[in-house]
């Protein structure tokens, strides 16, 4: 045994192991350049609900005089024109949360829960006729701003787009300054009505937790932005005590008698609106004949938003907010309104 062997055997066993480990670690490895992976989130953490605070500034209930109707609205921003947002069927005002957090730098944002949706409560939540929905929007605007609202841009997604067009057609908002319709046109909508019941029945109807509902919405491709889904999806559900699970707040399958009225004649009403108009689409194949002709004649601005699903404002909120802000700037829509041909001049 050499002196070096004797010194080695005199070391505690754990020291020998440590020395061997150090030598082993210094050896070149084919995996040495691979970065350490961060700890993965559990499914529950990844899809957990997020509060609207930090996106909108506040929420409030708007009581409609001489009725029992109370409409819930979310607001953001303190200066500029009002961007009044109307969500799609089965959604809620929170579908505009991420977009509102960006738009509020240039405008005031109001997103209401339509009748039968979100936290709004009315004498008849099942009445989703286009006439009733339009009257609701006008009543909320009047309750919030009286007879002299600031310059207002109506922004509507899907069903909300139809409501926005019909509200604009009434010419009842003295300072209506713009109209933005998000991914809905008459031709495609009317053609899809015969399949709507099958589409609705194909959805998962019951969820044990909010997290599972958010996960289903994202994994199923219904929404593509997890952050937005975590904010908006819980607001579309309610807890069913009898079944001990969450179900949809709005039973859209029971509103079939109103569907045709939502979309019939929509293209002509849109084209006839005297205010600046923007149509945002997720695909060019959605234009019908009337809109194709109108677009060629320059009657409205059309933008196809790539790499997104039906809910453009949720899937790509930064791009959506930028498009809305650019629309306001391009048409010089200010906080005190602009003179629009065909609309009465506001009383001073």
Task: Tell me if 263 sits within 8 A of 285, measured CB to CB.
Answer: no
Residues of the chain where predicted confidence (pLDDT) is lower than 70:
1-41, 284-285, 335-348
Catalytic member of 95, 101, 158, 174: 158
Dist. CA 238–CA 119, nearest whole Å: 10
Q: Residue 4 and residue 7: Cα distance in Å, rounded?
A: 5
- Dihedral sign of CA atoms 164, 165, 166, 167 in order: positive
Query: Has 69 been annotated as catalytic?
Result: no
Burial class (CB in 10 A: 0-12, 13-18, 19+), 226: middle
pLDDT of 18: 42
Task: Convert the pLDDT of each residue in 249-283 to its tens digit.
Answer: 999 999 999 999 999 999 999 999 999 999 999 97
Q: Are strands 301-304 and 277-281 parallel, antiparallel or unpaired?
A: parallel
Q: What is the pLDDT of residue 42?
A: 74
Catalytic residue among 69, 113, 136, 183: 183
CA separation for the pair 69, 140 (Å, rounded): 10
d(CA 344, CA 342): 7
Could you give phi then psi for residue 15, rounded to 5 degrees? -65, -35
Active-site hit among 72, 117, 166, 310: 310
Q: Which residues share a beta bridge with 180?
A: 155, 278
Helix (H, G, I), strand (E, B) or coil at 282: coil
**Token pair listed for 165:** 């067009």
Q: Which residue ranges form the domains of the chain, and what is each CATH number?
A: 47-331 (3.40.50.1820)
**48 close to 40: Cβ distance less than 8 angstroms:** no
> Which pLDDT score, from 0 to 100, does residue 8 have?
38
Reported pTM? 0.84
Distance CA 3, CA 5 (A): 5
Q: What is the pLDDT of residue 159?
A: 98
Distance CA 226, CA 224 (A): 6
Is 166 a known active-site residue?
A: no
- Active site annotation includes 217: no
Instruction: Give the other-Cβ count within 10 Å of 239's Cβ.
Output: 11
């Amino acid at each position: 045994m050499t002196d070096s062997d004797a010194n080695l055997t005199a070391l505690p066993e754990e020291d020998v192991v440590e020395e061997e480990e150090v030598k082993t670690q210094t050896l070149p490895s084919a995996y040495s350049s691979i970065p350490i992976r961060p700890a993965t989130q559990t499914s529950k953490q990844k899809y957990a609900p997020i509060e609207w605070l930090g996106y909108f500034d506040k929420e409030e209930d708007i009581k409609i005089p001489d009725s029992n109707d109370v409409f819930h609205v979310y607001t953001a921003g303190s200066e500029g024109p009002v961007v009044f947002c109307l969500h799609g069927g089965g959604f809620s005002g929170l579908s505009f949360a991420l977009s509102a957090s960006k738009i509020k730098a240039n405008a005031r944002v109001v997103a209401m829960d339509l009748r039968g949706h979100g936290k709004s409560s009315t004498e008849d939540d099942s009445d989703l006729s286009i006439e009733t929905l339009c009257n609701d929007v006008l009543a909320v605007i009047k309750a919030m701003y009286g007879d002299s609202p600031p310059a207002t841009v109506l922004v509507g997604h899907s069903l909300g787009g139809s409501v926005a067009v019909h509200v604009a057609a009434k010419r009842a908002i003295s300072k209506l300054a713009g109209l933005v319709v998000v991914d809905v046109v008459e031709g495609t909508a009317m053609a899809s009505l015969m399949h709507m019941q099958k589409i609705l029945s194909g959805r998962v109807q019951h969820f044990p937790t909010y997290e599972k509902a958010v996960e289903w919405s994202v994994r199923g491709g219904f929404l593509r932005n997890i952050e937005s889904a975590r904010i908006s999806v819980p607001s579309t559900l309610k807890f069913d005590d009898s079944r001990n699970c969450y179900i949809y707040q709005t039973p859209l399958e029971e509103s079939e008698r109103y569907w045709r009225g939502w979309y019939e004649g929509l293209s002509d009403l849109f084209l006839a609106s005297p205010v600046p108009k923007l149509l945002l689409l997720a695909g060019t194949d959605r234009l019908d004949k009337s809109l194709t002709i109108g677009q060629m004649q320059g009657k409205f601005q059309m933008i196809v938003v790539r790499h997104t699903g039906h809910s453009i404002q949720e899937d790509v909120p930064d791009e959506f907010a930028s498009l809305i802000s650019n629309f306001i700037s391009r048409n010089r829509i200010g906080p005190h309104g602009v003179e629009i041909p065909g609309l009465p001049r506001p009383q001073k």
